[in-house]
């Protein structure tokens, strides 16, 4: 059968170099002749994404935690069909944040973990997750967060705890990979990331899995 592209997700704590690494990964795949597209979540360009952008940037904009959560999920569903089509055309898709950010951030606010996961049920499941992280100690030492809603270091610690739950989940075992970025250069992290992706370059004839389905 014809090979589809692989769905590769880069997740991570804020300011771990996630966007730098997704950009590098896309460039490297392209330079080796692979068809590849980058999709960043939230995608702030769509109608729902514009609302999310307002929510993130304007702390006076009121939205319940549940409503905000469902918007982030809806933003993924807006693009789900396009992502599936792109993969089926043999193109790799690299995601910068996805369902795990959605669950970790909302659960860190106190929402029930399983409730948070349910609206994402059935979305295309990544073939590989690369989670960029650092120790809580290093996380606490960081300063200079920007002004967006979640850029507060205590909250980042809670988010890390929620992300770490995925690493321990049986259903994540085959796809979840942790890269500790502490003390590493962009090149070193890039090499770690590439080491995980290298095995997937031939594409796959497996159907696209569905998240939690």
Token pair of 40 as six digits: 């960043």
Q: What is the C-alpha to C-alpha distance for residues 179 and 164, in angstroms, rounded to an integer?
A: 12
Taking the complex as a whole, the smallest distance from the CB of residue 98 to ligand 2DT amounts, in Å, to 7
Does 102 engage in binding with ligand 2DT (CB under 6 A)? yes
Contacts of 177 (CB under 8 A, 6+ apart): 128, 129, 130, 131, 196
Taking the complex as a whole, the smallest distance from the CB of residue 173 to ligand 2DT amounts, in Å, to 23
Taking the complex as a whole, the smallest distance from the CB of residue 157 to ligand 2DT amounts, in Å, to 15
Pair 181, 171: CB distance under 8 Å: no
- CA torsion sign for 212, 166, 194, 9 is positive
From edge to edge, which strands make up the β-sheet containing 7-12?
36-40, 92-96, 7-12, 128-133, 176-180
Q: What is the C-alpha to C-alpha distance for residues 116 and 108, in angstroms, rounded to an integer?
A: 11
Residues near ligand 2DT (CB under 6 A), total: 9
User: What values do phi and psi take at 2, rounded to 5?
Assistant: -80, 150
Does 105 engage in binding with ligand 2DT (CB under 6 A)? yes
Of residues 27-46, which lie at the interface with ligand 2DT (CB under 6 A)? 41-42
Of residues 143-172, which lie at the interface with ligand 2DT (CB under 6 A)? 150
Taking the complex as a whole, the smallest distance from the CB of residue 75 to ligand 2DT amounts, in Å, to 7
* Closer by beta carbon to ligand 2DT, 1 or else 146: 146
How far does CA 181 lie from the centroid of its chain? 16
* Closer by beta carbon to ligand 2DT, 120 or else 203: 120
DSSP state of 123: S
Does 100 engage in binding with ligand 2DT (CB under 6 A)? no
* Closer by beta carbon to ligand 2DT, 15 or else 184: 15
Q: Which stretch in 94-102, 166-174, 183-191, 192-200 sits in contact with ligand 2DT by CB under 6 A?
A: 94-102
Residue closest to ligand 2DT, measured at CB = 102
Pair 4, 205: CB distance under 8 Å: yes
Q: Which stretch in 79-87, 101-109, 111-119, 160-168 sits in contact with ligand 2DT by CB under 6 A?
A: 101-109
Could you list the residues that contact ligand 2DT (CB under 6 A)?
41-42, 56, 72, 97, 101-102, 105, 150
């Amino acid at each position: 059968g014809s090979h589809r592209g692989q769905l590769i997700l880069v997740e991570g704590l804020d300011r771990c170099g996630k966007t730098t690494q997704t950009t590098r990964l896309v460039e490297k795949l392209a330079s080796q002749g692979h068809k590849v597209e980058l999709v960043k979540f939230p995608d702030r360009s769509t109608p729902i994404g514009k609302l999310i952008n307002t929510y993130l940037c304007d702390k006076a904009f009121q939205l319940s935690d549940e409503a905000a959560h469902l918007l982030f999920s809806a933003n993924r569903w807006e693009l789900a069909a396009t992502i599936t089509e792109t993969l089926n055309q043999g193109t790799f898709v690299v995601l910068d944040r996805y369902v795990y950010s959605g669950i970790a951030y909302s659960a860190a606010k106190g929402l029930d973990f399983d409730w948070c996961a349910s609206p994402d049920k059935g979305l295309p499941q990544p073939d590989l997750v690369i989670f960029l992280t650092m120790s809580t100690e290093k996380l606490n030492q960081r300063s200079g967060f920007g002004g967006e809603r979640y850029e507060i270091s205590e909250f980042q610690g809670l988010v890390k705890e929620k992300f770490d739950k995925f690493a321990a989940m049986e259903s994540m075992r085959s796809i979840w990979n942790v890269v500790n970025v502490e003390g590493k250069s962009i090149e070193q992290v890039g090499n770690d990331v590439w080491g995980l992706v290298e095995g997937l370059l031939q594409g796959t004839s497996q159907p696209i899995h569905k998240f939690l389905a």
